[in-house]
Structure 1
Amino acid sequence: MNALTVEARGPVLLATINRTDAHNALNAEVLDGLAEAVDRAESDPNVRSLVITGAGEKAFCAGADLKEDSTLDADAAQVKMRRGQSIMAAIENVEVPIIAAVNGLALGGGFELALACHFTVLSEKAALGLPEVGLGLIPGYGGTQRLPRAVGDATALHLILTGETLKAQRAYELGITPVPPTAPDEVVDTALAIAERIAAQGPNAVRSVLRAVRADRAISPAALATETGLISLAIAGEESSEGIAAFLEKRAPNFGAAAAKSDD
């Protein structure tokens, strides 16, 4: 079974992350599938929009695959982070509107994926957050750059440093989504309806609007490089080893012990 499926709905592509057993976590196969979906949306003149969602009712995407990440050294982690960042940048910069239909949990890389899309539609049961600091990590797919742009520095820092999870209504109030939260069984249909409405507009005008809006809002490559370097070091460090182990073992992390060990 493919980790990500893509189907054409008239002029709209629907890409579905299909790893329900792992809460639709981002592994290498999902990242590759997202890249292929974006390439198809950009290269096929018959495609006017792309909707990304998650299979099942619980999760849009629960973030990185921690079991996969826990096996990476600093160099391998940096390669994966750069790959993920390049895909998020492609999503953000493609001249075809991309909508995230967030049907459940959107945590870590899942929230970063939603932030990279042009806008989102949220289920009433959606929950969004960047909980990485609780694992001894930091956001690694552009979240340190895109969340402040969406909600302001102070709110973004509060959310990232506390790991707070936003409910759908609060995310709407903060402007993370322009659409009032919808019933869980309507979120994909709502996103598709918006995508179809956009598809009916002049395609050159749509591309021009996307280009104009991002003209002076490009994320600094240097800022992303800083994020990549820091997350790569974090993944290979004692603190994240303890944080990820605690998460997988369903216990509270002991960061004091990890810090003492790293100082030795």
Structure 2
Amino acid sequence: MKWEIAMAYEFVQVEREGPVTTVILNRPEVMNALHSPAHFELDEVFNAFAADPAQWVAIVTGAGERAFSAGNDLKHQASGGRMGSPPSGFAGLTSRFDLAKPLIAAVNGVAMGGGFEIALACDIIVASEAAVFALPEPRVGLAALAGGLHRLPRAIGTKRAMGMILTGRRVSAAEGRELGFVNEVVAPGELMAAARRWAQQICELSPMSVRASKQAVYQGLDEPSLETALKGQSKYPAVAALYSSEDFVEGPKAFAEKRPPQWKGR
């Protein structure tokens, strides 16, 4: 199948191939830094992805070779440009807590501040060897309040996270993998192929099972104990949807008939 342009936006490019959507942050002239209009466009993009039953996985990356995203467009802010973001947060993503479909960040360069927060809001991070991560907001009198201060400690532990947060230091892709927030590091020219490989592996599974698993992990982490997480998981919307889905019947049936399952995502 060929990658197709799904819809035209000013600051974002959206492509689709089969059940995979690729979202490209498209402001390379400012290292894909985002301003208010871009946030609202991305809100529309992820709303459409969430609502489309034919789309199962999304890859998020940046246009050009220099940056995934340099975060907040400080020059736009300093010039008095329109500020604000949708309820879904920075990039229409960082406060989007009800998206059960998996997201893959393909980090092709600089992921600073809000750019790093976008990547942390994804479920899997694949990074180019040229990628660099940091939460440098305190250097300009700000703080990483779009999720970075909360997601990073949950991903790598408090002490390791504080070592990055309180210094604003830059971390390479290789160190990011050692710390535990990067899943895979590849050569720059192999980044999108690697991200699509992850997406394809996910698409081989039941979309209903994947969504139930993602939701159970994240909501379970917020439960006060393992016991309450186990007892409460059947009430999570994606888990309940799995139990009543066609895929829930198709999986065991295909196994018994010794054939590949035909997932419907419903």
TM-score by length of 1: 0.76
Partner in structure 2 of residue 231 of structure 1: none
**Structure 2: gaps (5+ residues):** 1-8, 224-266
C-alpha change, 1:81 and 1:153, in structure 2 (3 Å) is farther
Residues 1:37 and 2:37 are matched in the alignment: no
CA contact (8 A) 2:87 2:95 kept: no
Instruction: Tell me which amino acid in the other structure corresponds to 2:27.
Output: R
Partner of residue 97 from structure 1, selected from 102, 108, 114: 102
**Structure 1: gaps (5+ residues):** 220-264
Aligned to 1:162, the other structure's residue is in SS state coil
Q: What is the alpha-carbon distance in structure 1 between the residues aligned to residue 201 and residue 159 of structure 2? A: 35
Q: Which has the higher contact order (CA 8 A, sep 6+)?
A: 1
Residues 1:192 and 2:200 are matched in the alignment: no
The Cα shift of 1:84 comes to: 2.4
C-alpha change, 1:33 and 1:193, in structure 2 (3 Å) is farther
Number of aligned residue pairs: give it: 214
Instruction: Tell me which amino acid in the other structure corresponds to 2:19.
Output: P
The Cα shift of 1:26 comes to: 1.2
Mapping for residues 1-264 of structure 1, pairs under 5 Å: 2-71=10-79, 79-80=84-85, 84=89, 87-90=93-96, 93-179=98-184, 181-218=185-222
CA contact (8 A) 1:81 1:141 kept: no
CA contact (8 A) 1:11 1:196 kept: no
C-alpha change, 1:80 and 1:46, in structure 2 (3 Å) is closer
The Cα shift of 1:215 comes to: 1.8
Higher fraction of helix: 1
Q: What is the alpha-carbon distance in structure 2 between the residues aligned to residue 18 and residue 154 of structure 1? A: 34
Identity of aligned residues (%): 38
The Cα shift of 1:71 comes to: 4.7
Aligned to 2:89, the other structure's residue is in SS state helix
TM-score by length of 2: 0.75
